[in-house]
Amino acid sequence: MKSTTTPMMEQYLGIKNQYRDALLFYRMGDFYELFFEDAVIASKILEITLTKRGKSNGKDIPMCGVPFHSANNYLPKLIKKGFNVAVCEQTETVEEAKSKLKKGPLKREVVRVISPGTLTEDDLLERTTNNFLGAIYILDDVVCVAWADISTGCFKSKNLINEKIPSKQKQILTNFLLKMSFSEILVSDDMDTSLIEEEWHSLLKKQSPSQFFYESSYDQVCSYYAVSSIEGLGQFSKGEIIAAGVLLSYLKLTQCGKIPLLSTLESETDNKILEIDYFTQKSLEILTNLSGNYEGSLVSCLDETKTAGGSRLLKQRLIEPFYEINQINDRHDLVKWLLENNNIIEFQTYLKNIPDFERSLSRISVNRGTPKDLLLLSDGLVFVEKIFKKLTSNKDFKNKPSLLNLIISNFKIDYSLFLNIKDALKKDLPLSTKEGGFIRDGFDSKLDSLRTLRKNEIEEITNLQKKYIDLTNINSLKIKHNRMLGYHIEVRAMHDQSIRDIDFFIHRQTTAQTSRFTSIELNDLETQILNSFDESIKIEVAIFNQFTNEIIKKGKEILDIAYSISELDIAIMVVNQFYNRNYICPVMLEEKILEIKEGRHPVVEKNIKLKNNSFVSNDCFLKEQDIIWLITGPNMAGKSTYLRQNALIVIMAQAGLFVPAKEAKIGIVDKIFSRVGASDDLAK
């Protein structure tokens, strides 16, 4: 029996068969269309009309679609439900198909699989929050994880625990997952998922067990970093390498071979931090208040950073403060140097103009960059150069703290590329490179010549219209353009016959109101215009690609600059808080002491100041001989405020920040635990 499936539907089914676990967005003209079960699922989630197109096995084929230019308005709903979306684009032009004497539908290919953990678009991401993709593997009872945020380039791994007690493994893993807030988690299909709480099961993406081999994972990591051995990258367990390799393989799959730019893989197994478990983090209202809202949290109180990267780094520091005293003092020393040596107002002006380097660079590295990304990077790096010059112009150059020397070293690059890009691009830029028009006049002589030619040719269209008006005596005759007919001559229907009587006019189309014609002369002119337009776009795209390739080569340098800007942003924020909030630099010691004079709760103090009230400061003196205080008192007497106040002061100090107190001597703390009443919402 002969198949009734159309060539287009055969193409669709062939592509869908390769991406069974994703909803297939199949490009048809100006729409992405979905068919069969994909259409049923998507229409319900997106609340769009479910219609039909053709038949399969005698049954109607369900269909729905969304406009391609507004797809990003629909994607978040599907992503939040945990679906992957395979984006299938037309990768062949009509002209290319004709040159091959090809029949049937134009070639289409999946160019990207969008998943919750692989987003790069700003309108699909939260500006100040990381979007982590995680991979979990258990090897010889060791729970190993790797995670990456492809929108910022972060890539890390860690051994969580070496325990054979399932309950202990589950507890540690649960706490880690709560703290990391992964968007998507890769696990082996044969993993015992009972170790993972049920609330995360919707985030799990099961992979073939064959992916979780050490040798293939090792090769994936080496291949990505173009090294023959991982020894130069650092020390990693076998489980960490497996998790990292699986993650890279998944990125290669979802990005269709184009893995985004990631920082050098970093193991956090041996990194010492002030450990704050999720429940303590929640109790102390570090990222959200007890109601789960941002307002009233510690980060909402403190975050006065000017850059997206600075805000993300501040969040990380507050939930994972330093343990090593040198790392803490490095941050404090940077703030003190800025207080002594610089006018920070100028720095703040520069920082306000710094874009999200990491996310623009990420899009460029996977061929999703736009002219706007190029301009943002270039404009921002011009301001980085200004910051660099201001930092190095200070006479006290030799006495700069070590962290500042690292920042200056990262800023010490050749900025000529970015000045060249800034010089090349127009101020008003299109959303993509496809239509051209983003390279300014005067940058490329050949492009200028083509634009002049095109401008003259369009003027010739106007002259040709005048010529045909004179020839026909039809003053309403127009030469118009649309996507279907291209350039054509249009007259009202009443003039149809008089135009037909002139031999060199060729009839194209008749509507109720108008008649449309062309001529050999007009066709030749249109071909010249289109050729010059196509050639112009090719030149602009070539310039764009050259710039993006050069930027990718400088990717490591740009990531280092982004990190340094975030560090500097936080330091300048702390300088502001020294002046505006009377925060002070704590003295950090490697002994058992917590001596806080006239300490204040940062969040409560800020909230009551808004009501023109003042916070009554209080002291805390703990030392080796007097290590426990028992606090009693009636309800609403301030016990929770006092307990949390001192915990937050320790966290702020070890995060490298200044603290709300008159004086503070703080011995390094390795863990903080806190449980307070669920009704103690200090924001209220």
Q: What is the mean pLDDT of each run of 10 residues along the chain (684 residues)?
A: 73 94 93 96 95 86 93 91 93 73 84 93 90 94 93 94 69 87 94 84 92 96 94 93 97 89 92 89 92 93 97 96 97 94 86 95 92 94 93 73 95 94 93 90 93 85 93 94 89 93 91 93 87 90 96 95 98 97 97 96 90 87 86 80 95 98 96 74 52
Domain holding 12: CATH number?
Answer: 3.40.1170.10
What is the model's pLDDT at position 640? 87
Residues 14 and 129 in one domain: no
How wide is the angle at C-alpha 25 spanned by C-alphas 86 and 29, nearest 5°?
135
Read off φ and ψ for residue 186, nearest 5 degrees.
-95, 130
Instruction: Examine residue 180 and state whether it is found in any structural domain, yes or no.
Output: yes
What is the model's pLDDT at position 547? 97
User: What's the CA gap between 656 and 310, in Å, rounded?
Assistant: 13
Please count the CA atoms within 13 angstroms of the CA of 302 that sit on its side-chain side.
36
Asked whether the CA dihedral 288, 292, 293, 295 is positive or negative, the reply is: negative
> Is the distance from CB of 489 to CB of 517 less than 8 angstroms?
yes
Instruction: Report the length, in residues, of the chain.
Output: 684
User: What's the CA gap between 646 and 640, in Å, rounded?
Assistant: 10
> Is the distance from CB of 660 to CB of 596 less than 8 angstroms?
no
User: What's the CA gap between 5 and 179, in Å, rounded?
Assistant: 50
- Side chain identity at 478, as an amino acid letter? K
Q: Three-class SS of residue 595?
A: strand
Instruction: Examine residue 603 and state whether it is found in any structural domain, yes or no.
Output: no
What is the model's pLDDT at position 163? 63
Instruction: Examine residue 227 and state whether it is found in any structural domain, yes or no.
Output: yes
Instruction: Examine residue 65 and state whether it is found in any structural domain, yes or no.
Output: yes
User: What's the CA gap between 599 and 361, in Å, rounded?
Assistant: 42
Produce one character per residue of 444-469: b if its CB has 16 or more CB atoms within 10 Å, e if not: beebbebbebbeebeebbeebbeebe
Residues 135 and 253 in one domain: yes
Number of Cβ within 10 Å of residue 625's Cβ equals 6
Bridge partners (DSSP) of residue 133 are 148, 184
Residues 165 and 265 in one domain: yes
What is the model's pLDDT at position 397? 58
Instruction: Examine residue 512 and state whether it is found in any structural domain, yes or no.
Output: yes
Read off φ and ψ for residue 479, nearest 5 degrees.
-100, 120
Residues 77 and 99 in one domain: yes
Residues 52 and 93 in one domain: yes
Residue 59: both structure tokens together: 């049954």
What is the model's pLDDT at position 1? 39
Instruction: Examine residue 574 and state whether it is found in any structural domain, yes or no.
Output: no
Instruction: DSSP for 113-150, please give it.
Output: EE-TT----GGGS-TTS---EEEEEEETTEEEEEEEET
Instruction: Examine residue 489 and state whether it is found in any structural domain, yes or no.
Output: yes
Structural domain of 531: 445-546
User: What's the CA gap between 263 and 250, in Å, rounded?
Assistant: 17
What is the model's pLDDT at position 238? 96
What ranges make up the beta strands (E) of 475-602? 478-482, 486-492, 506-510, 514-518, 587-589, 593-599
Select from 546, 569, 595 the last residue of a domain: 546
- Side chain identity at 14, as an amino acid letter? G
Which CB contacts under 8 angstroms, 24+ apart, belong to 525-533?
A: 525/457, 525/460, 525/461, 525/464, 525/487, 526/486, 526/487, 528/453, 528/457, 529/454, 529/457, 529/458, 529/461, 529/487, 530/486, 532/450, 532/451, 532/453, 532/454, 532/457, 533/436, 533/454
Residues 70 and 129 in one domain: no
What is the model's pLDDT at position 4? 67
Select from 510, 530, 546 the last residue of a domain: 546
DSSP letter assigned to residue 24: E
Q: Where are the alpha helices (DSSP H) in 47-122?
A: 71-80, 94-99
Q: Tell me the angle at which helices 555-581 and 520-553 cross, rounded to the nearest 10 degrees.
A: 70
Closest CA to 29 of 79, 94, 84, 73: 94
What is the model's pLDDT at position 399? 77
Residues 155 and 59 in one domain: no
CA dihedral defined by 363, 365, 371, 372, rounded to 10 degrees? 40
DSSP letter assigned to residue 270: S
Q: Give the pairing type, strands 59-67 and 84-90.
A: unpaired
What is the model's pLDDT at position 251? 95
User: What's the CA gap between 36 and 17, in Å, rounded?
Assistant: 13
User: What's the CA gap between 362 and 431, in Å, rounded?
Assistant: 17
Residues 476 and 528 in one domain: yes
Domain holding 497: CATH number?
Answer: 1.10.1420.10
Instruction: Examine residue 458 and state whether it is found in any structural domain, yes or no.
Output: yes
Structural domain total, the chain = 3
Residues 86 and 129 in one domain: no
Residues 148 and 262 in one domain: yes
What ranges make up the beta strands (E) of 452-566? 478-482, 486-492, 506-510, 514-518
User: What's the CA gap between 531 and 537, in Å, rounded?
Assistant: 10
Select from 88, 114, 140 the last residue of a domain: 114
> Is the distance from CB of 273 to CB of 261 less than 8 angstroms?
no
Residues 72 and 200 in one domain: no
Residues 107 and 186 in one domain: no
Domain holding 253: CATH number?
Answer: 3.30.420.110
